[in-house]
Structure 1
Amino acid sequence: MTSAMTHSASRWVYRLAAIACSTLVLAACGKHETDVVRQKQVSVVNVSASSGPGQWQVPGQVGAREETPLSFRTDGKIIERAVRLGDQVAKDQVLAQLDPVPARQGHDSAQAQLAAARKGFEFATSQRKRDQQQARAQLISRAQLEQSENAYAQAKAALTQAEQQAAQASDRLSYTKLKAMHAGVITAEHAQTGQNIAPGQPVYSLAWSEGKDVIGDIPERLLASVSVGQQASVRLNALPDQVFPATVREIAPAADPVSRTFRVKLTLDPDAVQARLGMTATILFTYAEDAGASPRFSLPATALFHDGDVPAVWLVQQSDSTLVLRQVTVISQGANTVEVSGDLKPGDMVVAQGVHTVSKGMKVVASQEQAS
């Protein structure tokens, strides 16, 4: 009996020992798996200082140097549009037509009034001449001559008024035809056939100058580095391998109320014959670095993060491979790269991809990427 109890107790001891060992093994495995999960693999790039003159860029678009909205000078209903977007037009070519019936009726009425006024003036002129002759022969009284003079003055005034009204009616009739003021190309359509429009309401936009501009918007922080007459370079997105010279000719005196940017227009080199109106472009500005200025670092645009409203980058601490957030100042930003300054030094590693998927203090495994 005693031997059986001893054997049973031994089996329970063995079972408890086995459970304890299994628990320790599972705990060790769980800790190993947690460490693996916490060590996220990230793509990093080594920080290197930028050398030479600084360069920044903004997007732009090719536009006409002179572009004018075309509109009718009278109201009415559009019954015909003779040209379409992109059409080449000649000077004085008819582009659109309003319904001419109301204007023609006014014109015919004014012409009838003019004819009557001319007849009245002719009669008053003849009567005045006869009365003057009879007055000199003392055949009529002075009062009768004054009546003739007064009738003549009234008829002359009526004729002048009728002539002015007839001229205005003729103008209104001619205003029912919209003509091109210059030879050029139609760059926009603003109204449709059958539409009732008011005087001055745009129907087309006409680009009529030979030269072309590149138009871009400059952020306020970079405005001080741009001046009229400054040289720049333009790369057309349709021709990425070619760079064309351009010159700043105009800077907006006030910022756009929504974007808070300043519009700048650059004269494109005449040799850029491949540039077509509406093409998108990249405007490249070069500036000299001030002596004693903070070092500049060029990074992939995907490396830029924001700590609230402040730009920052994720820095990999080489001592323990954990992440810290370093605030930076953006000097310029392009489509694929960003130039920054701040508490960085050559050789530092920053996260280049997936900056929104990591967090402060995270342990990472760095995978090198070539810097742009």
Structure 2
Amino acid sequence: MKKLILVSSLALTLSGCFSNDETKEITPIFVNTYTADQQIAISERTFQGTTVPADMTPLAFRHGGKLERLTIKSGDRVTKGEVLATLDTAKLKQQLQDAKAQRDLANSQFKRAETLKSKGMLSASEYDELKANQQLTAIQYKVLMQELKHSQIIAPFDGVVATIDVESYQNISSGETAFSIYKNDVIYVDVPVSEAFIEQLKKLDDPYDLKAEVHVKALNTNYEAKLKLFSAEPVAEIKGYLARFELKQSVRQLLPGTSALVAINIDQFKDNEQTAVLVPLNLLVAQEEQGDFSVWKVDESGSAELTEVLVSTTTAKGALVIDGVQLGDRLIASQLSKLTQGKEIQFVDGHQ
């Protein structure tokens, strides 16, 4: 027993000699910095947008069946009333012929039943059975006639085929989208915007009078546009707010999904005296929501501070930031991926 106590005491003594309570020294990150020292008056706001079609309409058959050979393709222009796709109706036509024969037979049997009943040669139950059969076969024939009538998809308006979701000779279910078409005489441009921009819109007497110039790089052309709608709440699909502009003229060669630059003259806003601070593009940190950025600032204690910024536009010289950065702010210009909020930093030149 004494030996056991002695060993235990020795173990406790040794554990005290090798304590894990060692203080780890925090190593700061050495970074380069940039001092915001250029302020620029801005006359317009620019946004990156994407063209979207008006009245995108999915088309489907009311009844299932096997498709015949498709002759249309994505991008084809169609006219109202044009047959776009047809189901194979050979089997349906045979069923319709059989249903017609059954209907005619039921009609003949019911007429004979009426004669027999009037002579007292047919019971009421037999008469009712023949009458019910006549009505049933008439309904079956009518249903098949409707299926034959709806075995085609007809263009509901003049437009362009956007997507085709089926293939020739494919079996398709009732209500399953075969393809989509859209009107090509109206083009919209959707732009993700900030909450601050939405607040500026709300201050206008009539936000829908807001005008913009849309530049389409693919066509090297500018178009006039007008605000069509804007979201009062964030849109889940883009994780932010949305503004939609409508081009004033028809641009038939402008396809959905085309990138476009939307420029808005800020003289149209009530608080139109705006300046921006020039920030090098490589200092911007993209956030989760499209169009949102942050920068790493040096705070008063000399630590890293991630700050959201509002970018008006980007130029060859850098980003024009209208909120989040002021003249004299010191921004971190290197090691951005290694920074965390409140991280202790040292400057490469050795000066705080």
With structure 1 as the length reference, what TM-score do the two structures score?
A: 0.63
Q: Corresponding residue for 2:51?
A: 62
Offset of residue 187 of structure 1:
1.0
User: Which AA in structure 2 matches 1:265?
Assistant: R
Structure 1: runs of 5 or more not aligned: 1-37, 132-139, 316-322, 365-372
Structure 1 residues 305 and 363, CA, compared in 2 at 3 Å: closer, same or farther? farther
Contact 1:231/1:246, CA 8 A, preserved across alignment: yes
Q: Which residue does the alignment assign to 1:223?
A: 198
Secondary structure of 1:311's aligned partner: strand
Matched, 1:339 2:294: no
Q: Which range moves more in the overlay, 70-79 or 257-266?
A: 257-266
Partner of 1:362: 348
Counterpart mapping for 1:165-176 below 5 A: 165-176=140-151
Check conservation: 2:283, 2:332, Cα contact below 8 A: yes
Q: SS at 1:50's partner residue?
A: strand
Q: Please tell me the residue identity of whatever aligns with 2:163.
A: A
SS in structure 1 of the partner of residue 192 of structure 2: strand
Q: Find the counterpart in structure 1 of residue 14 from structure 2.
A: none
Larger radius of gyration: 1
- Deviation of 1:188 after TM superposition, in Å, equals 0.9
Structure 1 residue 314, shift from structure 2 partner? 6.7
For residues 207-261 of structure 1, the C-alpha deviation after alignment (integer angstroms, 9 at most, x for no partner) is: 1352221223334554333466133332212245x43222222335654436422
For the structure 1 residues 353 and 117, does the alpha-carbon distance in structure 2 shift closer, same or farther, using more than 3 Å as the test? same
Structure 1 residues 118-197: aligned runs within 5 Å = 118-124=107-113, 126=115, 131=118, 144=120, 151=127, 158-197=133-172
Q: Which string of whole-angstrom CA distances, capped at 9 and with x for unpartnered residues, describes residues 304-353 of structure 1?
A: 2589x9822578xxxxxxx996765422354543424346327x887889
1:180-208 deviation digits (Å, cap 9, x = unpaired): 22232111111122433221211111113
Q: What are structure 2's unaligned runs of at least 5 residues?
A: 1-29, 340-344
What is residue 257 of structure 1 aligned with on the other side? 236
Answer whether contact 1:187 1:204 (CA < 8 A) is retained.
Answer: yes
Amino acid in the other structure paired with 1:339: V
| Structure ranking higher in helix proportion | 1
2:294 alignment partner, one of 311, 316, 323: 311
CA 1:225–1:102 in 2, change beyond 3 Å: closer, same or farther?
farther
Alpha carbons of structure 1 residues 340 and 209: separation in structure 2 relative to 1, 3 Å: closer
Q: Aligned letter for 1:361?
A: F
The question of whether the paired residues in 2 share the 8 Å contact of 1:326 and 1:343 is answered with no
Shift of 1:60: 2.1
1:305–1:356 Cα contact (<8 Å) kept: no
Aligned counterparts, 1:27-66, within 5 A = 47-51=37-41, 55-57=45-47, 59-66=48-55
Correspondences of 1:63-78 after superposition (within 5 Å)? 63-78=52-67
1:247-280 CA-partner distances (Å, limit 9, x unpaired): 2223356544364224443221116566344322
Mapped partners of 2:152, 2:193: distance in 1 = 41
Task: Tell me the equivalent position of 2:13.
Answer: none
Matches of 1:310 and 1:94, distance apart in 2: 49
User: What SS does structure 2 have at the residue aligned with 1:211?
Assistant: strand
Identity of aligned residues (%): 18
Alpha-carbon distance between aligned partners in 2 of 1:306 and 1:281, rounded to the nearest angstrom: 20
Aligned counterparts of 1:352 and 1:159: Cα–Cα separation in 2: 86
Pick the aligned partner of 1:267 from 232, 240, 246.
246
Contact residue 301 and residue 338 of structure 1 kept, 8 A: no
TM-superposed deviation, 1:360: 4.3
- Say which of 259, 279, 282 aligns to 1:280: 259
Instruction: Name the TM-score, length of structure 2 as normaliser.
Output: 0.66
Amino acid at match of 1:74: H
